[in-house]
Structure 1
């Protein structure tokens, strides 16, 4: 073969040309493909980093995180942050209103952020579930924002379910047949929300939602001249659940029929036409004519159609629809219409299998009607009525207690008859159960203990904290099934019903509370688990004679959490039972004065080793109970502390959590003290240390004592003189007095002695007797005349009680009418 360089060059050139074309083609293909992929991928250069204690918000354009730093006993909460939607912001405030969603583990938050293209800080509306808190938050930190492409890809959370919705606390409203607690929508058509600055006439796809159950959450009022419109409006925000229990967040308006729907699970925003505007500030739905009938539906049971005032009334409903966890999935409430046309909102509760109960106590004679609301169709719109009338019914009225402020703070029955409390607890353990005994045998033991307390004169049973070991198990088993806080054991509560019923029958009002030691006992529970448990308990037992004692450990660290449960109690309890908690001492042993002023405390229980706390709180005009165990082993010391507590204006209880048992001698002393005061008009007696003087004191000494008390009465803030008197009294003579000046006087001598007693305001003959606090025996003394000063000397050097009363007006005996 002859070598031809020109031929070689030509062939080589052709090969190079083909390879180049191929490379160019491949490069172009890759470039086009990448461009298409890039075009399909949402691109956004937004960057938000905002801080507002205790929150932090981070957003990088495609993903982010919302953080709430640890509060009290709750740890940090970190939730993935997802973009929802962008609207035009209000003029003069911001360019955009950007919606974000954070959610995780059954909780979620929605953030409406007022943003510009960039800035150094921004404002945000923040809604958090399940706390149902809507607040404004001022975030600080540099940001720049470009509205992301809408709609965003699905970001569903697998098996995302939220707990029970909180109670609506906004103003009354009218929309269809919705109430403040529940409603329904048979059908709702939704359309993807229009992205900002999108032009064109393309018709977006619509979807149809059916069988929605609605739970109102809160309202939002937007003022006039808000940057969007000259006029203002009010929004109703609700939760909605479909048949699969998927949650949606709905926003309805008072000035438009169109609103928004947020799919919490898929993180998508839609618009919807709700058909009518929401009307705020008016009464709920007008009375339904069918409610007037007293005939009850086939799936409804009632105890009777005739009941006396202050007797428990019960409606039992049944459903056949299975629920995975009816305790948390189904809501039931009854609108109870009273004879004077007022409406009570009474929650119902699950009682096992397909049984549902609504309990309440009618307080007035006349015709009562009810109508139910529920997210279960079989329980919804059940109606009926009954008659409440005086007369014999074979059942005892419930022992319902209240705290009366006048003449002095005291306990009283529902008819305002004063009741002197005799508060005892079961011997340790509180709730003895033997695995070898059958439930009925255990309950028989409980009845014997209750009988013994009633024979002693007890009318209150202290303790009763559900999360304590002693209370969390009874004849029906444990409080929760398999120790799962989200699944209660109905049989446990059915046996607890029997216990509370029997105590009420014996004239005893038990405490029911959450936890003796709040911080440790509530730690295993989420806030939603604990709130739903307590809502269930209050709904179940508010128709009994009980006292809500939330905890024995109210302190600075947990008072915010406990106050939230106090608020929940007030919302659910239609009868407004007594609500309290024991205030812990500070580290130095002094009472926490700030906590004793919490408004929801109907009375203050103090765990205090010093009775001086009673004087420190004297001007608060609140009923005060000293929970005591410091003197229990020493009978003499314990007896003197009991009497000193009452004579200094408080009420005494033994602390049941102490490892020290209440001895028989101390219990006897307590009961003898109660027996004495039940023969007085104790509700009119208050401390008057200025009325006690030393024998032989001068007239000037007497005038100084009276002048000091008068100046304190005129200027309550001047308490130092009173404290000085009380200190001299407690450290000097060891004599204390309770008086209703002019009518009745009680003086306690801790160790005999003599006093001069001011009887200037008394008129006529006064009967004088001495009471032996060790035996309960009375000893008559010579009558005296009022209008001056009298000297009295105790029978011996032991402790004695002097009782003086106007002879023509015998003190009324207080019967323990329960």
Structure 2
């Protein structure tokens, strides 16, 4: 068989179904390309079926051999051919250059995220399709999505076996839940959208029993999730949402889980962790100087701090949460579309990446909770911002020293903008970030220049 580079090779084997295969059966495989060997875990998929998934990153012939304590699964060997990547397949996203992202083939990637925490947990296939249709028509190329339920939810299936609060079996998983979950990840992959999988969160409050697992049970879950999902090239890992709200775990626990994730993920997918806190007053942001995180996932209302975070640690800054467009009675959930647009521009022009969300009262479902249909004013403005960024250099912050700059003024309205340019000829354009217009100023500019402004929501683009 032939698999495309960065695609998925999947091996299905029949093995023991009695007892508890999740605990009792060990299955791994080694994949070899020339003198390089990659070890991956297999997983039990129910009904006596075991699977091994592998994503090859080199073209050519790969060989594999399994190892297991179950004789039926041990010593199975074979080979397969890896061909060139298909259309739209640029490989997984990685962090590069201290503050940027790009795909494995070198294609640039900027993250425009949105949040749909439990869009895969509703049990409503039509609703999930509407969510996918909304995403396909949107500017968003990353979705933050939870694996585990909250206390208020009654999902049709849960990651662990069982359906009674407080009586789930943490030693067994529900394969049907995972098949559905990974099916939606595959749907996102078809759309070119990254799946930022949130493994833990603090919103269960002991109801289902998934936010206060033992360290061993935590690792058991993480290992199974990595075995099933890591081969999807569009997967990112978020170890937790608002980790500091979870009182059952300490910082040491989170450190150990992130280290464990790094150790068992054969592809070293992008991995981070998201802070909570009263973000309008203070923020206990994770120490992203620790080497087991690839980027900074930050909750904070002030996108103006992006450059400071970027300078503090040489890793991409992703403002995954800075408030949401909507009209609910929570301060973080009733921002106007104009304010969300401003925060996107502020974060991006300072060298970061920003996440979106919506929570309107008069909708069937709140987008941040379960997806559905986007109705806000910000998505089309974010699409306009994305087009502006796409037209510039991939390293638009460093490019300021090479004749390109994109300066944003937000809610300020200075009458003019004085700027010092070099002796090359430059063009100057006034961008109205809300009206989504670009107005070239006549003539060429060099040396000290005064650029007329006089209203809010403007950006100035200057290029040689």
Do they fold alike, i.e. is TM over 0.5? yes
Q: Offset at 1:596?
A: 3.2
Residues 1:798 and 2:419 are matched in the alignment: no
How many Å separate the matches in 2 of 1:452 and 1:366? 38
Structure 1 counterpart of 2:70, from 363, 366, 376 = 376
Residues 1:413 and 2:103 are matched in the alignment: yes
Pair 472,454 (structure 1): closer, same or farther in 2 beyond 3 Å: farther
- Which has the higher relative contact order, 1 or 2, with Cα contacts under 8 A spaced 6 or more apart? 2
How many Å separate the matches in 2 of 1:512 and 1:588? 26
Determine if contact 2:337/2:376 at 8 Å carries over to the other structure: no
Determine if contact 1:464/1:471 at 8 Å carries over to the other structure: no
Q: Which has the larger radius of gyration?
A: 1
Structure 1 counterpart of 2:239, from 543, 547, 550 = 550
1:358 aligned partner: 52
Provide, for residues 143-174 of structure 1, a one-character-per-residue CA deviation record: whole Å limited to 9, x for no partner. Answer: xxxxxxxxxxxxxxxxxxxxxxxxxxxxxxxx
Determine if contact 1:422/1:671 at 8 Å carries over to the other structure: no
Determine if contact 1:583/1:596 at 8 Å carries over to the other structure: no
Residues 1:490 and 2:184 are matched in the alignment: no
Determine if contact 1:451/1:506 at 8 Å carries over to the other structure: no
1:327 aligned partner: 22
Structure 2 residue matching 1:368: 3-state secondary structure: strand
1:527 aligned partner: 215
How many Å separate the matches in 1 of 2:359 and 2:226? 24
Residues 703-718 of structure 1 aligned to structure 2 (within 5 Å)? none
Provide, for residues 292-344 of structure 1, a one-character-per-residue CA deviation record: whole Å limited to 9, x for no partner. Answer: xxxxxxxxxxxxx222211111111112x343110111010001111x31111
How many Å separate the matches in 2 of 1:458 and 1:774? 18
Structure 2 residue matching 1:411: 3-state secondary structure: strand
Structure 2 counterpart of 1:675, from 383, 387, 400 = 387
How many Å separate the matches in 2 of 1:465 and 1:503? 15
How many Å separate the matches in 1 of 2:199 and 2:68? 27
Provide, for residues 739-796 of structure 1, a one-character-per-residue CA deviation record: whole Å limited to 9, x for no partner. Answer: 5223201111233321211212xx532122222211322212124243x2111112x4
1:560 aligned partner: 252
How many Å separate the matches in 2 of 1:396 and 1:335? 28
Determine if contact 1:309/1:363 at 8 Å carries over to the other structure: yes
Structure 1 counterpart of 2:227, from 530, 536, 539 = 539
Determine if contact 2:25/2:69 at 8 Å carries over to the other structure: yes
Q: Offset at 1:532?
A: 0.9
Provide, for residues 459-490 of structure 1, a one-character-per-residue CA deviation record: whole Å limited to 9, x for no partner. Answer: 1111323344699946xx33222222222111
Determine if contact 2:230/2:269 at 8 Å carries over to the other structure: yes
Determine if contact 1:472/1:478 at 8 Å carries over to the other structure: no
Provide, for residues 492-535 of structure 1, a one-character-per-residue CA deviation record: whole Å limited to 9, x for no partner. Answer: 11112211111101111111122222894644422222211110
| Ranges in structure 2 where 5+ consecutive residues have no aligned partner | 163-167, 324-331, 369-374
Determine if contact 2:396/2:405 at 8 Å carries over to the other structure: no
Q: Offset at 1:455?
A: 1.2
Structure 2 residue matching 1:502: 3-state secondary structure: helix
Pair 370,513 (structure 1): closer, same or farther in 2 beyond 3 Å: same
Pair 470,384 (structure 1): closer, same or farther in 2 beyond 3 Å: farther
Structure 1 counterpart of 2:354, from 646, 652, 666 = 652
2:327 aligned partner: none
Cα RMSD (Å): 2.9
Pair 499,652 (structure 1): closer, same or farther in 2 beyond 3 Å: same
Count of matched residue pairs: 430
Residues 682-721 of structure 1 aligned to structure 2 (within 5 Å)? 682-685=394-397
1:447 aligned partner: 129
2:439 aligned partner: 779
1:311 aligned partner: 7
Pair 657,620 (structure 1): closer, same or farther in 2 beyond 3 Å: farther
Structure 2 residue matching 1:765: 3-state secondary structure: coil
Structure 1 counterpart of 2:404, from 741, 744, 747 = 744
Structure 1 counterpart of 2:419, from 757, 778, 782 = 757
Residues 1:511 and 2:173 are matched in the alignment: no
Provide, for residues 321-377 of structure 1, a one-character-per-residue CA deviation record: whole Å limited to 9, x for no partner. Answer: 343110111010001111x31111111000111111110111111211011000101
| Ranges in structure 1 where 5+ consecutive residues have no aligned partner | 1-304, 435-441, 687-738, 807-818
How many Å separate the matches in 1 of 2:341 and 2:378? 6
Q: Offset at 1:445?
A: 3.1
How many Å separate the matches in 1 of 2:204 and 2:357? 19
Determine if contact 1:589/1:608 at 8 Å carries over to the other structure: no
Pair 359,385 (structure 1): closer, same or farther in 2 beyond 3 Å: same
Structure 1 counterpart of 2:448, from 769, 789, 792 = 789
Pair 470,792 (structure 1): closer, same or farther in 2 beyond 3 Å: farther
How many Å separate the matches in 2 of 1:540 and 1:490? 10
